Structure 1
Amino acid sequence: MKSSPSPSRIWLITGAGRGLGRAFAHAALAHGDRVVGTVRRTGAMADLLTEFPGSVRGIVLDVRDAAAVAPAVEAAARAFGGLDVVVNNAGTGFVGALEEIEEQAARDHLDLNLFGALWVSRAAIPHLRARGGGDIVQISTVGAIGAMPLFGLYNAGKWALEGFTEALSGEVAQFGIRTTIAQLGGFATDWAGSSMPFAAPRAEYDDLRTALFGAAEVPWPAADPDTSPTDADPAVAADALLAHLGDPDHPLRVLIGEDAPGHAALAYAARKESYGADGGLVWPT
């Protein structure tokens, strides 16, 4: 006896114009689902519109604009008659020592990486509840487990993202809404490329930048276009996310990427060591 096909889902994916967001959108569409993607510029999803006519919509939205988020999510829900999966993917990295970070840069970064996901999640809850449930997915990182010098602002935003999401999971489970924190390793996107923001460098941190990155210069020199990326194809992350969401008993957190479990293990080991040998904490086994 043939099993019935899984029903088509309706996705809202922020930052769907390129990188991981585009990979998530393409995988969902190839699976037979429908996708509404938010982008920063008109036409950023033109190729997907051509490949999957009738199944995809693009909405121009800057998730940092809290007042614009709720109308955009409402429009996304109207596009195909509801929402089933909401993926907060929009975000960026940031390089800078705490002493180098200007106030406005810090606020802009957290508005994007933290508050943008908060506003979208908040606006999506009534739509998911109306469907009898669904999924909210936060695209996080193994950098939300540990921290690295010169990435403190980025780490802070992702730690906070995970904190509110863990609380959110207990708030919305009663509505049949599940939450996922996807902790990604390295993938071949422009995250560390031309889109990476940098604080204005201070000479006092040149030696540290050299030790960590191989040079004190920031922004980093453009990558050699003839060099193949060493990180994984974003399509791998998309396939892993679909598999995770397809598991009816999926856990709150999922590690995605071959390097992610190793990075997570190192980060948790460092957390344990940070209490000291006589810290009074019996670490769970």
Structure 2
Amino acid sequence: MKKTIFITGASRGFGKIWAEAFLKQGYQVAATARDINSLNDLASQYGDAVLPIQLDVNDRPADFAAVKKAAEHFGSIDVLINNAGYGLFGTIEETSEQEARAQIETNVFGLLWITQAVLPVMRKQRHGHIIQVSSVLGVATLPILGVYNASKFAVEGLTETLAAEVKDFGIKLTLVEPNGFATDWAGASALQTQQMEEYAPVRAAFQAGLTDDAFGIPEATVDAILKLVDTANPPSRLFLGKVALPWVKQVYANRLATWEEWNDVAVAAHGK
């Protein structure tokens, strides 16, 4: 079946790699980017199979217009991939109000607006698959990425809730949770706060943990994403990479141990 896929943040990184992989498989792709010129190569190579759309996901009316344009152009939207987002590097104390608001605006509200825009289309179709690109940092955390961590934790909560709300409409949701990959997410796409000297040791420890083996190869994710889009019963969550699961298992073991240790206090607080 030739599916129609709407993907945000398709100018580079995962978005560009996945958009091209879908096109190679014969899918129709509505690809959005802030700079529509970044999609010229896809348009030139794949012609009518791709619909490039200039879009800043922070613009809610533009999000609804973009989804409407894609649905009218292709006749349906079978899969939404909310991929647009960026990383903000800096400790909590270093982060300015503007930096924090901008991070949440794009990573949470941008994703929310696109999701809201596509839901009427998928409800009318009585089918659809919404793939939210979260992160392993939406399940566990690292220092220096506090507001980014918070944005992905928010995406996790929104998506879990939405899955319960729309399942009777035939709409399925998947959280994709990559560990680190060698895209430019931590490079040209990232923003940095103004650093405070007091946090130099924290930054040094963070950098020391960024070994080459910790970062996956972006192109290696293609088969996983194609399988996810093709499956009739997609998982609610999918890690990408070999680092995520061992790390999260340890994080959750520690959390469970703490909850168990304090369970008597917790139960007493119930009051009856």
TM over 0.5: yes
CA separation in 2, counterparts of 1:276 and 1:178? 33
Moved more, 195-204 or 206-215: 206-215
Q: Where does residue 58 of structure 1 map in the other structure?
A: 52
Q: Where does residue 275 of structure 1 map in the other structure?
A: 259
Q: Where does residue 127 of structure 1 map in the other structure?
A: 121
CA separation in 1, counterparts of 2:3 and 2:134? 22
Q: Deviations 1:205-232 (Å, cap 9, x if unpaired)?
A: 11211122149xxxxxxxxxxxx99733
- Residue 213 in structure 1 maps to residue 197 in structure 2: no
Q: Where does residue 257 of structure 1 map in the other structure?
A: 241
- Residue 46 in structure 1 maps to residue 40 in structure 2: yes
CA separation in 2, counterparts of 1:202 and 1:276? 37
Deviating above 4 A after TM superposition, structure 1's stretches of 4 or more consecutive aligned residues are none
CA separation in 1, counterparts of 2:26 and 2:7? 16
Q: Where does residue 64 of structure 2 map in the other structure?
A: 70
Is contact 1:36–1:79 with CA below 8 Å preserved after alignment?
no
Secondary structure, aligned partner of 2:48: coil
The alignment of Structure 1 onto Structure 2 pairs a total of residues equal to 264
TM-score (norm 1): 0.87
CA separation in 2, counterparts of 1:271 and 1:67? 41
Aligned equivalent of 1:149, options 143, 148, 155: 143
Give 1:24 deviation, angstroms.
Answer: 1.4
TM-score (norm 2): 0.91
Identity %: 38
Secondary structure, aligned partner of 2:202: helix
CA separation in 2, counterparts of 1:133 and 1:195? 34
CA separation in 2, counterparts of 1:279 and 1:198? 40
CA separation in 1, counterparts of 2:247 and 2:17? 23
Moved more, 253-262 or 60-69: 253-262
* Greater share of residues in helix: 2
Give 1:279 deviation, angstroms.
Answer: 3.7
- Residue 98 in structure 1 maps to residue 92 in structure 2: yes
How does 1:226-265 map onto structure 2 within 5 Å? Answer: 231-265=215-249
Is contact 1:23–1:235 with CA below 8 Å preserved after alignment?
yes
CA separation in 1, counterparts of 2:213 and 2:60? 35
Moved more, 181-190 or 234-243: 234-243
Structure 1 unaligned spans of 5+: 1-6, 216-227
Is contact 2:92–2:144 with CA below 8 Å preserved after alignment?
yes
Give 1:66 deviation, angstroms.
Answer: 1.7
Q: Tell me the amino acid that sits aligned with residue 104 of structure 2.
A: L
CA separation in 1, counterparts of 2:162 and 2:259? 28
Q: Tell me the amino acid that sits aligned with residue 185 of structure 1.
A: N
Is contact 2:107–2:151 with CA below 8 Å preserved after alignment?
yes
Moved more, 53-62 or 240-249: 240-249
Give 1:61 deviation, angstroms.
Answer: 0.6
Q: Deviations 1:53-86 (Å, cap 9, x if unpaired)?
A: 2200111111011222111111121221121000
CA separation in 2, counterparts of 1:22 and 1:273? 41
- Residue 184 in structure 1 maps to residue 178 in structure 2: yes
CA separation in 1, counterparts of 2:214 and 2:153? 26
CA separation in 2, counterparts of 1:204 and 1:142? 27
